[in-house]
């Protein structure tokens, strides 16, 4: 089993062109051949009133990933109200559109996948268009298009840790906004982003790679919740597959890691 795992890591390194005799390239273009989707699954605050909190994050996260080195041609946004955002031209957040576009993009940008969902959540799944997408649906989305590619899945929602086992794997890193039994914070009408999405946006330009991003976001969320007396703490969850773990530092951003208060 250990021999097979090492062979998989070696094959992935060679296939992505990120291995040299001296080590890994930490160039900004390391993500240029990755596919990325960012999905806003709802447009309501926790009160039920209209809110831009998820679409704000969808728009600004897509821009942040492009700044980190993803090609604009390989990044697609999804919204429940796409007609309101002509500047970004998102597609509708429905299963057919997401599956179709993710499959199309991975065919032309096959090096890896980034899948980011931001919405409300429940113990049984994440809210998309008023429905609860459960473990089976989320696994299908990621498995069908991303398969064995190096993949980073981020689920920003209450109780999102409940979906971790459905989308993790040896070639995947999964980051969720909360434990399976905890809510997350920042879904009010006046909020610009959720606490978790705020921390991703803040820490992404400051860290060196996705592994560092997960740790930095956890620390950032804990500080923010402590400062604002949010209780109980959401405790974002991180899972890094064995085959992906040695490779994550190679997918480097351009700035050195550090952590500051939001």
Residue 24 lies in a domain: no
Residue 262 lies in a domain: no
Mean pLDDT (10-residue bins), the chain, 262 residues: 39 34 42 96 94 98 94 97 97 97 97 97 96 97 96 97 96 96 92 97 89 92 93 94 75 48 43
Residue 14 lies in a domain: no
List % helix, strand, coil for the chain (3-state, nearest 5): 40, 20, 40
What does residue 40 show for φ and ψ, rounded to 5 degrees? -95, 120
Q: For residue 148, how many other CB atoms are within 10 A of its CB? A: 14
Domain count, the chain: 1
Would you state the pLDDT for residue 30? 82
10: its two tokens: 């070696």
Residue 13 lies in a domain: no
Instruction: Provide the residue count of the chain.
Output: 262
Report the alpha-carbon distance of residue 196 to residue 162 in Å, rounded.
16
Residue 229 lies in a domain: yes
Report the alpha-carbon distance of residue 179 to residue 165 in Å, rounded.
12
In this structure, what CATH number is given to the domain that contains residue 61? 3.40.50.1460
State the residue range of the domain holding 161: 31-248
Query: What pTM was estimated for this model as a whole?
Result: 0.86
Would you state the pLDDT for residue 231? 93
Q: Could you tell me if 96 and 103 are in contact, meaning their C-beta atoms sit under 8 angstroms apart?
A: no
């Amino acid at each position: 089993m250990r021999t097979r795992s090492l062979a998989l890591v070696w094959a992935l390194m060679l296939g992505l062109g990120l291995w040299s005799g001296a080590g890994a390239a930490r160039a900004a273009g390391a993500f240029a051949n990755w596919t990325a989707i960012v999905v806003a699954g709802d447009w309501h605050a926790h009160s039920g009133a209209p809110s831009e909190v998820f679409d704000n994050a969808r728009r600004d996260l897509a821009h942040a990933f492009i700044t980190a080195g993803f090609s604009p041609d390989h990044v697609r946004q999804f919204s429940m109200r796409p007609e309101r955002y002509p500047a970004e031209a998102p597609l509708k957040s429905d299963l057919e559109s997401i599956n179709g576009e993710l499959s199309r993009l991975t065919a032309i940008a096959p090096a890896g996948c980034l899948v980011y969902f931001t919405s409300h959540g429940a113990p049984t799944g994440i809210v998309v268009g008023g429905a609860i997408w459960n473990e089976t649906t989320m696994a299908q989305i990621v498995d069908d298009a991303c398969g064995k590619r190096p993949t980073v899945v981020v689920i920003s929602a209450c109780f999102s840790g409940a979906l971790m086992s459905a989308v993790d794997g040896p070639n995947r890193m999964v980051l969720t906004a909360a434990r399976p039994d905890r809510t997350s914070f920042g879904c009010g009408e006046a909020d610009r982003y959720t606490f978790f999405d705020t921390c991703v946006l803040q820490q992404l330009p400051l860290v060196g790679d996705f592994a560092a991003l997960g740790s930095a976001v956890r620390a950032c969320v804990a500080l923010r919740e402590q400062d604002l007396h949010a209780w109980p703490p959401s405790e974002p969850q991180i899972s890094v597959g064995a085959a992906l773990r040695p490779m994550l530092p190679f997918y480097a951003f351009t700035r050195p890691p550090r952590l500051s208060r939001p």
